[in-house]
Structure 1
Amino acid sequence: MVKASSLALAVLLAGLSGTAHAQDKPVLTIYTYDGFASEWGPGVPLKEGFEATCGCTLNWVAADSSIGTLRRVQLEGDSTEADMILGLDTAIAGEARATGLFADHGLDMSHLSLPGEWTDAQFVPFDYSHFAFMWDTDTMDAPPSSFEELIALDDDIKIAIQDPRSATPGLGLLLWVKAAYGDRAPEIWEGLAPHILTITRDWSESYALFLDGEADMVLSYTTSPAYHIFDADDHTIKAAMFSEGHFPQIEVAGILKSSDQQDLARDFLAFLTSKEGQANIPTTNWMFPVVDLEAELDPAFQGLPQPEKTLTLDEAEITANLAAWIDEMLAAVQ
């Protein structure tokens, strides 16, 4: 009995010791959107890869959207448990920057491969693509090659788009039209209105309508066809390339000033933008990596059409006018 009790005590103490040791590990908490942190998203392999070298625990906390992560941190303020936000994009970077919640990352970004040079001191990019309308070669003979050609189609050709107030692709479309047409944007929205089947809260709902055949086209990304090629060797889903050019989505991550894990957060950003980290992005998040993976980039991404022109808007202009532009769009289509 004494020996058995001693053995049990030793096992218990060993277990407690192991628990204490595990709790001594630093924890890096990152707020992101649910798709990124899901079991099929890049969050799983990135967590495994980083934890293998950091001696830490990476904790993903998912919101329903990247906009939702920013709103949560704004509500929580300096009391937030988050060390970083991952999944904002350049469309809302100005608003995020204006909160004063983000620290400079201090990293060298000269190795990145993006549409344009990256010089942002606070936000680090981790993937990108351009917004585009998907079409199906089985149901359309040829796609429109501009917004004006889309408007000129019969009204029974329907598109599914997303709400710019809740979905980053919807916000991207808003900025795409504004960047391409400027003061003519309301006219373009009025022309698109008869073709809009629905404006969904998120991307997945509108994309499902397209795949089910209820919408002829759907707002998505130039990289979306790669998923269908990779998953089912299906080459029928394509991106319509518009002569006006296309607006990019560049997704970014930023460290919060309130974090007590500043160095660990910087280490994660360095890992995220390394070839090892970036190799996890294309076939889980279905976007282009921000470094040149060369032969390691999956063949599904090879040969995807790319815009001849990348459209841009000044960050300060977006921040100052976004609310008015959303109102302008909604007034035209409702």
Structure 2
Amino acid sequence: MKHLAIATGLLFATQAAAQDPVLTVYTYDSFATEWGPGPVVEEAFEKECGCDLQFVTAGDGAALLSRIRLEGERTEADVVLGLDTALTAQAKDTGLFAPHSVEAEYDLPIDWTDDTFVPFDWGYFAFVGMKDGPKPGSFGDLAAGDATIVIQDPRSSTPGLGLLMWVKEAYGDRAAEIWEGLADNIVTVTPGWSEAYGLFLEGEADLVLSYTTSPAYHLIAEDDATKIALPFEEGHYLQIEVAGRLAASDQPELAERFLAFIATDAFQSAIPTTNWMYPAVTPEAGLPEGFDTLIAPETALLAKPEEAAEVRDAALEEWRRALSR
């Protein structure tokens, strides 16, 4: 009888689990890894939602939008997490995203008024290198020197697109000239951030396009102070990463609940030491020791979402031409 009772209990537990609503969140690869925020967020949200939160990865950030466009209203995604402000205007134009009603006290460098997308973290793009390696202080210095770099493809990666916007915001009509100067420095262009950073760590290049916050990982997680972010005199481009829910979701209330959960301490406290970015809402415990050692850009560059959408194609063509020569 004891064995029968155990078996019956397991059956009921399995049936209950099977009845839990499923929330499918599309995100980029590094978010859902065992060392990323995904596992922490999943455990915390499932404790309060009575649901099954499932992350589905789709490469890097820009690849998320491409996948959603391809799938259209047939998508299985309820939420997309990992776009940024360089993509939000294009994402809205698809008509696939629904407005949200989330209200939160965000701690961002800009005022946030978007009614479709909810911010979950932010940071500044930067080239990361070794403390004893090359230290160009501008794009001009980088192009004129011999430092090798690994960057990401702007068609599939939000950091890659961020670099495109960084050069365009800093140099305007001279952007093509800057790319022509940088072409010889580029060792390779990777589909996403993870591949590029891995090549840098393997010694395949002097510098990698990443974030001003990246050295915090090495300092806090590895007790390694040899990696640094380089301050550029042109300023640094700001990235704000966002999440939005799909209009075709069969779990609209649960998706909205997840968007609201993003602004809570349970989510935000995981960001600094798993995604290694600044949280959109400052955690109750504040930022971890080590973040105070990071460079703080004197000039922040950021195109409005509509402006980013307008210049993206022209900037991408400048990039393509320079790298094809």
For Structure 1 versus Structure 2, the TM-score category normalised by the shorter chain is over 0.9
CA distance in structure 1 between the aligned counterparts of 2:61 and 2:140, rounded to whole angstroms: 31
Is 1:38 matched up with 2:33? yes
Structure 2 CA distance for aligned equivalents of residues 199 and 230 of structure 1: 28
Say if 2:22 and 2:53, in contact at 8 Å, map to a contact too: yes
Question: Structure 1 residues 295, 55: closer, same or farther in 2, change over 3 A?
Answer: closer
* RMSD (Å) for aligned C-alpha atoms: 1.9
| Count of aligned positions | 324
SS at match of 1:35: helix
**Matches of 1:197 and 1:103 in 2, distance apart?**
40
Cross-structure match for 1:47: 42
Match for 2:59 among 64, 75, 86?
64
Answer yes or no: is the 8 Å Cα contact 2:263–2:280 preserved in 1: yes
TM-score with structure 2 setting the length: 0.94
Could you tell me which residue of structure 2 aligns to residue 115 of structure 1?
A: 109
Runs of at least 5 residues in structure 2 that lack an aligned partner in the other structure:
none
- Which residue matches 1:148? 140
- SS state of the match for residue 129, structure 1? strand
Of 117, 123, 126, the match for 2:120: 126
Q: Per-residue deviation at 1:11?
A: 5.7
Q: CA deviation at 1:280?
A: 0.8
2:152 counterpart residue number: 162
How far 1:300 sits from its partner (Å)?
A: 2.2
Displacement of 1:68 in angstroms is 2.6
Give the aligned partner of residue 330 of structure 1.
Answer: 320
What does 1:1-334 align with in structure 2 at a 5 Å threshold?
Answer: 8=4, 13-109=8-104, 111-140=105-134, 143-153=135-145, 156-293=146-283, 295-334=285-324
Contact 2:85 2:304 in 1 (8 A): no
In the TM superposition, what is the alpha-carbon distance from 1:157 to its structure 2 partner?
Answer: 2.0
What amino acid is the match of 1:199?
A: V
**Whole-angstrom CA distance in 2 between matches of 1:21 and 1:157:** 58
SS in 1 for 2:156: coil
TM-score after normalising by structure 1: 0.91
**TM-fit CA distance, 1:23:** 2.4
In 1, the alpha carbon distance for the partners of 2:37 and 2:269 equals 10
Consecutive unaligned residues in structure 1, runs of 5 or more: none
1:14 deviates by 4.4
The answer to whether the 8 A contact 2:149-2:187 is kept is: yes
Structure 1 residue 12: deviation in Å? 5.3
Q: Summarize the Cα distance change of 1:139–1:20 in structure 2 as closer, same or farther, 3 Å threshold.
A: same
Of structures 1 and 2, the larger Rg is shown by: 1
CA–CA separation in structure 2 for the residues paired with 1:76 and 1:196: 33
